[in-house]
Structures are given as structure tokens and as C-alpha cells.
Amino acid sequence: MPRSFLSHLECPQCGTTYDADIIHHLCACGSPLLARYDLAAAAREVSPADVSRRAPSLWRYRELLPVRTDACEVTLGEGMTPIVPLVRAGTLHRLAHLYLKDEGLLPSGTFKARGAAVGVSRAKELGAKVLVMPTNGNAGGAWAAYAARAGLRAVVVMPELAPLITRHECAVMGSHLFLVDGLITDAGRLAGRAAAQAGWYDVSTLKEPYRIEGKKTMGYEMAEQWGWSVPDVVVYPTGGGVGLIGIYKALQEMQAMGWIGPKLPRFVAVQAAGCAPIVRAWERRAAVSELWADAATVAFGINVPKALGDFLVLKALYETDGRAIAVPDAEILAAQQELARQEGLFVCPEGAAALAAAIHLREEGWIADGDQVLLLNTGTGLKYPETVAAQPAVIPADGELPVDDIRG
Amino acid sequence: MPRSFLSHLECPQCGTTYDADIIHHLCACGSPLLARYDLAAAAREVSPADVSRRAPSLWRYRELLPVRTDACEVTLGEGMTPIVPLVRAGTLHRLAHLYLKDEGLLPSGTFKARGAAVGVSRAKELGAKVLVMPTNGNAGGAWAAYAARAGLRAVVVMPELAPLITRHECAVMGSHLFLVDGLITDAGRLAGRAAAQAGWYDVSTLKEPYRIEGKKTMGYEMAEQWGWSVPDVVVYPTGGGVGLIGIYKALQEMQAMGWIGPKLPRFVAVQAAGCAPIVRAWERRAAVSELWADAATVAFGINVPKALGDFLVLKALYETDGRAIAVPDAEILAAQQELARQEGLFVCPEGAAALAAAIHLREEGWIADGDQVLLLNTGTGLKYPETVAAQPAVIPADGELPVDDIRG
């Protein structure tokens, strides 16, 4: 049995197909390409029960991943992040079946590790030597790590305002790091030009077809953890949108293989009020988004003014009776505090935005009483110290704690 | 079948036993107490194959954990951290079978989550309301999180020099945080006095018997991941030493249940040259350590001048033909860089100390050619940005990357 049932690449816009074993970036028509598998053959050879017996990493779904040889699997043990119930926050907001998948528990502390693990593995397999990418920080940290593990060079370009710790991640991994006095779109332009000039492998979001294959494992895991079923609503913080597209792709693959039934979750794309191009497009029932001017939000990971895969995100929303919603930064920070104080979870602002959105949608009635709601927390709050104020008192070593001021 | 086979508490110094279902801290003789289980009954009811089929969290070993009721299990999905092979670093240092268990992939980013999950669960079950503790930072972050999830109050006292991010963790969780102008021993004195004065539940290292029960799950996981066997050498960064004691305790329990054979790993306790009381004691074949004056190291988590459980650490070293070793800060930081550049792992300095120690022990010949060596990385480097310099160039948005300066 082959390790992977990858069969070809396909353009979701014009239908053109490409050989998956040759390096391709975008389709000739300008669209991203998607990896396709011989799902019928995969379904004959592997079952949900088989994968459930394997080690708890995203590679348990290897037949549905694009890496053909064991030697090219570049792994730090990533995957099978927990889904935790949010009983107290749920009760507070009349969300009786509220859950959070905690992607903070991955190498580099964010869901970006999934795309990097699979993307770097496949880049290595295809013979790439230098990877170049724009990033809002977290993808850079993740790709720098996996590139180092693979023995590849990484060139990372991030906005000056990206989370500081992501600079340290890139630096410690020995990657070439540049800051740009601008947004991720500016970083993308710089990276794209350099890639063309030097012949580097451009791993910008959706400019190569394998990052999304890593991200889609969130969907496989979700279904497996849900007992090979799905929740009613999936709430996803949306910047480039690859996670959402990936989860949807995974569900469609699992349906084709008979691993899950016909039910799909309603997808919610959450954006920050300061950068909400997908929300604006969804409100107009548009097929694509328009560049958002003067984008700014504390949830820096979703500060993406225009996403290459916007049409795929919108398609997923329309096809699942889903929706897009924007939440202001103040509500994002309040939700972050609430998840910590009520649930013991220090999430990134992007993940907190998912809770803020769910609260709105419940109030509106869009989320109904019995709905099972899954929030995706895309990363750990440890990477965002500036979102939390801490001014503790200093006690001399020979002093006393102010016991009387503290009550149980 | 009961959920837990916890039977009683026992003093490892004088043998006195205590009722496990009443709050106890130290033995009357001053020693820490250890939790004991009816291992014969547990072995009849549960097998390695049974636990391997359960969800990948530390609670898969619930029969050997002290929590009696499902409702008191306070969990964020922690456990089953990966063991990753270090092929390139291993080759470089003639350690052909070198592995690292990555405890950075836990809630709050360190192995402290294990002790906090189990310790807080049991504190809740026993009726505690306010938990107070000294910490070098990471345990504070972890216990603050689990206390918040449990609905308990946490009072945390840490040195001013503790990693900054751990202040933010305590603050966001709503715990009461105090800094002390001194070391963890000073924080411990303040916490102990406050506990006595206010009747709070003192959860200082080994002052209650359940934190170690969480930590010991590293040992259960290690054995399970090793195919119900053990490596030849386990290298452990040692401050309070509870992790090492816990792993050793787990191995003894598994031997008593017949889950693993008679082979034990040789334990290595690694300390920083700037704070090495266990190493000094081991060199003198002493049973206990002496307070280390003017303790200071970049590996702040192991900056513990005198550990309450020192005699248990030393016992584990003597009984397994193990040893203690000190490594200077410069070697710790070099090992941290090496693990990043060679292996894609951004580890904390404590974890890096384990690699620095293994390199020495191989050079000395204490680690032999064919030895399987497992390093414990106790936390993520994301919590220690100051250990890595990052001064990237800034490029204007309309500029160009210096392509010619970068070579694959």
C-alpha cells in the first residue's frame, strides 16, 4: 500500500489538473491549486478504526497527506490537540454545548505548525532548498522551525508590528529574517519578488498547495474526536482563511470516503472589526473580497487585508449555511480575559475572537439552544504578553504577604 | 471498579502512614509524604493495553492517580507529549540513540501543567479553597490556570527575576500575584507564613503529596512510548527535583504491577553550575544537599538553592547507578541554539541543559556507544525570549530583499 494516495493537483476555479510530483505554485489562471487524492482507493485500504489506533500526531492521517516517503516526514510530534469543554463560559452565555480546540499545544505554540510540518515535508520531498514567505509572525516561527529540522533554508518577511517573540523564534532557528515597514501584503510582495529573482520556493499562503493539507488535519482530528461526526457550528478566526478551507476540505474528503455522514457544520468566519474584508464580502453575498484599507487589530494574526483564498472561504460559508462576523478589539480582549478567568485558558487574541463571535451569534439567535459549538483557538496567549496587564506588588524578602486583603 | 486505587499516604523517611482522604502536608517528622496505591488490585483491573486505547492525556493513567471522582478532574487536555528523535544533534555528538520528550507542548508551555492538573484536582476534591505557592514562575503560571479552571483562588509568590511572561499568565488567570525581592526560598518562606496565618492550602513543591503524582505521568508516558520499556539513560534538569522523583516513582509502580520489566534507566540530575546543590551532594555521596549560596543561572527554573525532596532525588541517583552533573550557562545557551538550528526545537534553557549534560557524559564515556538516551525538555523557549538575540533588518514596503546575500 502506498503511504499517500495523493493523485494530482487541481484548480478549484478552472478545473485544470497538474502533476503533483512536479513543483507547481498557482494555476495558469491565477488561482491556488488543491491537492487531490484517490479517495476510493484510500477508503479501501484504511478505516477510521485503523487511524484511531495510531500514535497521536497528525501523521496518523498519512494516506490523506501529500508526503510519499517516510524519510521526508519532518515532524516534531505535532497534532491531536485536545478539545476542551467550556462549561462555565458556556453557561454564562447560554451556550450549553461549547467547546474549544486548543491549537496552542503545538510546536511553536500555534496551528501554523500543522501547515509547516506538512508543507516543509513536501517541499523537501520535491527538492526545494530555500523557502521564502511573508507572515504575520506565527507562520514564520513555525516554518523556520520545520525548515531547520529539515535542513532547508528559510527566508521570512514579517511586519514590524508582528508579535515580538516570533522574531526570536526565527532567529534561534537560524532563518533569514526581515521586517517590513508595512502589512503582510507588503511582505508578500517583497517575498514574491525575491522568489522570482532567486528561484526560491515561495511558500506564501496558498501559493503552494501543501500548507493547506497540514491545516486540514484540524478537520480530521475534529471529526475523530467527535466520534466520526461533527459539531453543529465551527467558529474560526479568519485571516488568510486556510484553516477554514482546510477543515472544509477534510470534511468533504471524509464524506467521500464514508468516514462521516452527510451532516456538515455551519462555518463561521470571524474577523476583527479593524480588518474584515471577508465579512464585508459575505454581507454582499460576493464571491470574492476587496482589499481592506488601513487594516489594524490587536488580533495580529488575522490582520490580512486581502486573502488569496477568499473565494474558497466564502464558498465554504455559502455552502454550509454559515456566516461571517466581525468583532471589535475591546470584545476580543474581554473574551480573552474571560477564557482565562473562567476556563483557565490563556488564548491568543485570534482565538478569543471566536468566543466573542459566538456570544454575538447566540444573542442574535443564529446559534440555537441545543447547538454544539466548537471554537478554534489558533494559538497560545504566551506569544502575546502585551494583551495582558500585570503590575504585581513587590514584597521584601523579609516582609509579609498582605493576607487580610485576600479572600477565598 | 473505583476510578483511583489510591490507598494511603506514606512517609518515605520514617514509614508513618496517613489517611489520604484528609488534608495532610508534611509528615510529623518533617519529610514530604508520598501517595500509595493498591497496585495489586490496580494490576488486576487495568492493563497497559487498556490505557493505550484511551484518549491521549495523562488521565489515561487515572487508576494510578489520586483523583477519586470524575467531577473533580480539572483538565485542559494535558499529556502524551511527543518523544522526538534528535538525529542530527545525536550524530554530531556520537549519541546515536538520542531522544527528547517535549514538555513544551502542554498547557502553559511547561511540564508544570502535569503537577498542577493533578494537584489542583485533588485539592478541589479535598475541599481546599485558596491555594498558595512559591514558584520560579512556570509552576505559578500553571497552577494559576488550573486553579482558575477549578474555581479556586491562587496566591502566587515569585522572584522578581522570574520569566516575565509568567507574571502575565498569573494576571490573566485572576490569581493574586506577588513578587519577592529574593529567591524561591524567600518566596517559600513568605508563602508558608501566609498559609499558616490564613489557613490556606500550601501547594509548595512536595509540601502536599499530589503535585508529584501529576509529574510522575512523564514516567508512565515514557514507558508506554518506549513500548512498555525504558531507555538506558534519562537526563533530567533538576531544580526541586519532583519530576525526576516522579518518573522514578512511576517506574517502581509499573514494575510492581508487571507493566515493565526489571530494567531501570540510569537517572542523570542536571543542574546549572551557578546553582548545583544536588551535584555537590552527589559528589560527596551525601544523603541530603546543603543550601547553595548566591544561586544564579539563566536556567531560572532550576535556580533552587535547597530542595525539600533532595534526599529522594539523591536516592534515585544512587539506586539507578545514575549521577549528577553541573553545566555552565554558556554551554546551556549553546545547546539551546544547537537544538533549534539542528532539530527545529525552541526549548527552554533548563531543557537545553539536558543536552549540554549528555554531551559531557558521552565525552567522558559515562554514556556508552549504544545507549538510548532520553532528554527531558521541561518547557518551551517561547517563555524565555531574552535567551535569544534577534536584530533583523527593516526593509521599506517599497524596497527589495538583499537576495544576493542569501545562499541556499
DSSP state of B304: -
Whether residue B98 lies within 8 A of chain A, CB to CB, comes out as no
**3-state SS, residue B159:** strand
Is the residue at B140 inside a domain?
A: no
Would you say A307 and A205 are in contact if contact means Cβ atoms under 8 Å apart? Answer: yes
Residue A83, CA distances (Å) to A106, A170, A260, B143 in order = 13, 29, 19, 20
CA–CA separation, B356 vs B333, rounded Å? 9
Distance between alpha carbon A227 and the CA centroid of its chain, in Å?
22
Let me know whether A172 and A275 are in one domain.
Answer: no
Is the residue at A57 inside a domain?
A: yes
Would you say A317 and A267 are in contact if contact means Cβ atoms under 8 Å apart? Answer: yes
CA–CA separation, A95 vs A99, rounded Å? 9
Contact B340 A167 (CB under 8 A): no
Task: Supply φ then ψ for residue B101, to 5 degrees.
Answer: -90, 120
What pLDDT does A331 receive? 98
Residues of chain B below pLDDT 50: none
Residue with grid cell 493574586, as numbered in its chain: B176
What's the start-to-end Cα distance of chain B, in Å?
60
| pLDDT surpassing 70 at residue A338 | yes
Residue with grid cell 532528554, as numbered in its chain: B375
**3-state SS, residue B48:** helix
* Chain A neighbors of B112, CB-CB under 8 A: none
Is the residue at B230 inside a domain?
A: yes
| pLDDT surpassing 80 at residue A407 | no
What pLDDT does B406 receive? 86
Task: Supply φ then ψ for residue A2, to 5 degrees.
Answer: -65, 155
Would you say A184 and B392 are in contact if contact means Cβ atoms under 8 Å apart? Answer: no
Contact A172 B106 (CB under 8 A): no
CA–CA separation, B66 vs B33, rounded Å? 13
Whether residue A336 lies within 8 A of chain B, CB to CB, comes out as yes
Is the residue at A1 inside a domain?
A: no
CA–CA separation, B355 vs A372, rounded Å? 45
For B279, the enclosing helix (H) or strand (E) is: helix B277-283
Residues in a beta bridge with A202: A132
What pLDDT does A405 receive? 86
Let me know whether A230 and A369 are in one domain.
Answer: yes
**Quick one: what percent of chain A has pLDDT higher than 70?**
100
For A95-129, how does the pLDDT look when each residue is reduced to its tens digit (9 = 90+)? 999 999 999 999 999 999 999 999 999 999 999 99
Contact A337 B406 (CB under 8 A): no
Q: Which amino acid is at B107?
A: P
Which residue in B100, B102, B101 sits closest to B90, CA to CA?
B100
Would you say B190 and B183 are in contact if contact means Cβ atoms under 8 Å apart? Answer: no
What pLDDT does B408 receive? 59
Which residue in A352, A339, A337 sits closest to A390, CA to CA?
A337
A128: Cβ contacts below 8 Å, ≥ 6 apart: A23, A152, A201
For B29-54, how does the pLDDT look when each residue is reduced to its tens digit (9 = 90+)? 999 999 999 999 999 999 999 999 99
| Mutation site, A172, A225, A380, A384, interface B, largest B CB count within 10 A | A172
What pLDDT does A178 receive? 98
Whether residue B80 lies within 8 A of chain A, CB to CB, comes out as yes
- Pairing relation of β-strands A6-10 and A34-37? antiparallel
Is the residue at A397 inside a domain?
A: no
pTM of the model: 0.97
Let me know whether A224 and A184 are in one domain.
Answer: no
For B84, the enclosing helix (H) or strand (E) is: strand B83-85
**3-state SS, residue B216:** coil
**3-state SS, residue B71:** helix
CA–CA separation, A231 vs A221, rounded Å? 12
What is the pLDDT confidence band of residue A241, given thresholds at 50, 70 and 90? Answer: very high
Domain containing A221 — which CATH number? 3.40.50.1100
Contact A408 B153 (CB under 8 A): yes
CA–CA separation, A27 vs A25, rounded Å? 7
For A191-219, how does the pLDDT look when each residue is reduced to its tens digit (9 = 90+)? 999 999 999 999 999 999 999 999 999 99
Closest-CA residue in chain B for A195?
B403
Residue A317, CA distances (Å) to A229, A244, A376 in order = 19, 9, 16
| Mutation site, A60, A75, A165, A204, interface B, largest B CB count within 10 A | A165
Would you say B390 and B381 are in contact if contact means Cβ atoms under 8 Å apart? Answer: no
Distance between alpha carbon A367 and the CA centroid of its chain, in Å?
23
Would you say B183 and B305 are in contact if contact means Cβ atoms under 8 Å apart? Answer: yes
Let me know whether A220 and A287 are in one domain.
Answer: yes
CA–CA separation, A71 vs A122, rounded Å? 11
Q: Which amino acid is at A38?
A: D
Would you say A30 and A15 are in contact if contact means Cβ atoms under 8 Å apart? Answer: no
Contact B392 A170 (CB under 8 A): yes
Would you say B113 and B78 are in contact if contact means Cβ atoms under 8 Å apart? Answer: yes
Q: Where are the beta strands (DSSP E) in B209-261?
A: 233-237
CA–CA separation, A288 vs A276, rounded Å? 13
Is the residue at B218 inside a domain?
A: yes
Is the residue at A348 inside a domain?
A: yes
CA–CA separation, A397 vs B181, rounded Å? 5
Q: Which of B106, B172, B403 sits opposite A337 (nearest CB)?
A: B172
| pLDDT surpassing 80 at residue A408 | no
Would you say A343 and B148 are in contact if contact means Cβ atoms under 8 Å apart? Answer: yes
Residues in a beta bridge with B325: B270
What pLDDT does A267 receive? 98
Instruction: Give residue A302's domain range.
Output: 83-105+216-387
What pLDDT does B235 receive? 98
CA–CA separation, B83 vs A285, rounded Å? 47
Whether residue A133 lies within 8 A of chain B, CB to CB, comes out as no
Let me know whether A95 and A125 are in one domain.
Answer: no
Contact B105 A108 (CB under 8 A): no
CA–CA separation, A69 vs A52, rounded Å? 21
What pLDDT does B405 receive? 86
**3-state SS, residue B351:** helix
CA–CA separation, A80 vs A76, rounded Å? 13
Q: How many CA atoms lie less than 13 Å away from B126 in the CB half-sphere?
A: 24
A110: Cβ contacts below 8 Å, ≥ 6 apart: A103, A104, A138, A141, A142, A301, A348, A378, A379, A380, A383
What's the total number of domains in chain B?
Answer: 1
What pLDDT does A232 receive? 98
Nine-digit cell string for B174? 485572576
Let me know whether A159 and A273 are in one domain.
Answer: no
CA–CA separation, A313 vs A311, rounded Å? 5
Closest-CA residue in chain B for A129?
B408
Which residue in B59, B76, B79, B78 sits closest to B3, CA to CA?
B59
Which residue in A204, A158, A164 sits closest to A182, CA to CA?
A158
For B165-189, how does the pLDDT look when each residue is reduced to its tens digit (9 = 90+)? 999 999 999 999 999 999 999 999 9
Query: Which string of DSSP letters, residue by residue, matches A84-150?
Result: EE-HHHHHHTT-TEEEEEETTSSGGGBTHHHHHHHHHHHHHHTT--EEEEE-SSHHHHHHHHHHHHH
Let me know whether A188 and A223 are in one domain.
Answer: no
Q: What is the three-state SS of A204-241? A: CCCCCCCHHHHHCHHHHHHHHHCCCCCCCEEEEECCCC
Q: Which of A81, A153, A180 sits opposite B397 (nearest CB)?
A: A180
Would you say B24 and B128 are in contact if contact means Cβ atoms under 8 Å apart? Answer: no
Nine-digit cell string for A402? 498582605
Let me know whether A278 and A354 are in one domain.
Answer: yes
Contact B346 A186 (CB under 8 A): no
CA–CA separation, B21 vs B5, rounded Å? 12
Q: Which amino acid is at A347?
A: V
Q: Which B residues, 164 through 183, put their C-beta within 8 Å of a C-beta on chain A?
A: 164-165, 167-174, 176-183
Q: How many CB atoms lie within 10 A of CB B284?
A: 10
Residue A161 to chain B, least CA–CA distance (Å): 11
Is the residue at B235 inside a domain?
A: yes
**3-state SS, residue B207:** coil
Average pLDDT, chain A: 97
